[in-house]
Amino acid sequence: MGLIRAVFDASFRQSTARRKPAGPRWPLMLFHVDTGGCGGCGMELEALATGPYDMQGAGFSFVSAPQGADVLLITGALTYTMAPVLEAAWKAMPTPKGLICVGNCAIDGGIFSENYSLMGGVSRKVHINLRIAGCPPTPKDILDGLCSLFAQHSKATGAAQAEAGVSSSSTTSS
C-alpha cells in the first residue's frame, strides 16, 4: 500500500548505557491511532497512562497531535477506512520517528484476519520497530515492551505488579 516506511532513530536504543537520551526528545512522545479493533488494546493503554503504572516516570507520554510525536503507536487490525488516516498521521510526524504495534490485531490482524474491509495488521506492509503482542497485552506488558526500547525494566507498583502474567503475551523488538 505504500503506506509507511518506519525509520526509527537508532540513537533511541543503540546504547543501553545511555538510558535516557538527552535533549528535547525525552520523554518519548507517543501518538495513538486505533485502526479498527475491539477497543481492548486502547482500554489497556488508557489504564497504563492513567492508572498506577507511572508511565511518565518511565519516560513515555501520549500526545494529542502527530506533529509532536516521536512514535506512532498503532492498535487495531487496520481497516481500509483507517489506512489513509494512519498515513496522514505518519506524514505529519517529524523525523526521526518510529512505529510500535500494540496487540495482535495491529501486528498481523490477530483474530481479525484480512477481509473485504480490513488489511489484517501492518506487519507484512511496513517495518515495525516494536511489537507488543497479546489480545490484549496488559498495561504492564505494554510498559515492559516500551521500556525494552531502552533496556529498562518497568517499576510498576502495587496493583500493577499483581496483574503480571495474567494475560499471555510476548514482546519483541526488531
Partner 1 sequence: MDAVAHIQAGQPTSTPWRYRLDEMAWRDLVEGLKHDSLPFVGLWCDGTDIHALFMPHDMQPLAATLALESGRYPALSPARPVSSFYERMIFDLYGAEAMWGTDVRPLVDHDVWQNSMPLAPVPGAAGDNKGMVAVQPSDAMQAASGTAMGSGPATGGYETPLHVAMVCEGETIRHAETVSGYAHRGMAQRWHKCRVDEANRLSGRYDAGCSAAHQAAFCQAVEHACGQQVGHEVSQLRLVVLELERVTQHLFTLATLARQAGARLVASRCMWLRESLLAKAAPVIGSRLMMDHSVPGGVNLRDTASMGTLCEQIADLAEEVYPPLVTLWQSYPGLSARLAGLAVVESTLLERVGLDGPVARAGGGECDYRRAMRAYEGLWHFNGGRHNGTLEDRAAILLDEVGESLRIIKALGPRLGLSAGGRIELTYEDGEGTGLAEGPWGAVLYWVRLKNGRVDQVFMRNPAYSALMAFEAVLPGQNVADIGLIRTSLGVSAAALDG
- Residue 35 CB, nearest distance to partner 1 (Å)? 7
Q: What is the DSSP letter of 10?
A: G
How far apart (Å, rounded) are the C-alpha atoms in residues 51 and 49?
A: 6
Which residue from 85, 88, 111, 151 is in contact with ligand SF4, where contact means CB under 6 A? 111
| DSSP states along 144-161 | HHHHHTTT------HHHH
- Which residue bears the cell 481497516? 79
Residue 13 vs 34, nearer CB to partner 1: 34
Residue 13 vs 131, nearer CB to ligand SF4: 131
Q: Which does 159 bind (CB under 5 to 8 A by kind): ligand SF4, partner 1, none?
A: partner 1
22 phi/psi in degrees, rounded to 5: -75, 160
Q: What is the dihedral of CA 72, 98, 86, 43, to 10 degrees?
A: -30
- Binding flag, residue 4, partner 1 (CB under 8 A): no
How far apart (Å, rounded) are the C-alpha atoms in residues 22 and 141?
A: 26
- Binding flag, residue 135, ligand SF4 (CB under 6 A): yes
Q: Which does 160 bind (CB under 5 to 8 A by kind): ligand SF4, partner 1, none?
A: partner 1
Residue 13 vs 78, nearer CB to partner 1: 78
* Termini Cα distance of the chain: 21
Which residue from 4, 6, 33, 41 is in contact with ligand SF4, where contact means CB under 6 A? 41
Give the binding site for partner 1 (CB under 8 A): 31-40, 42-47, 49-52, 62-66, 69, 76-77, 79-86, 88-89, 111-112, 115-118, 135-136, 138, 158-160, 162-163, 165-167
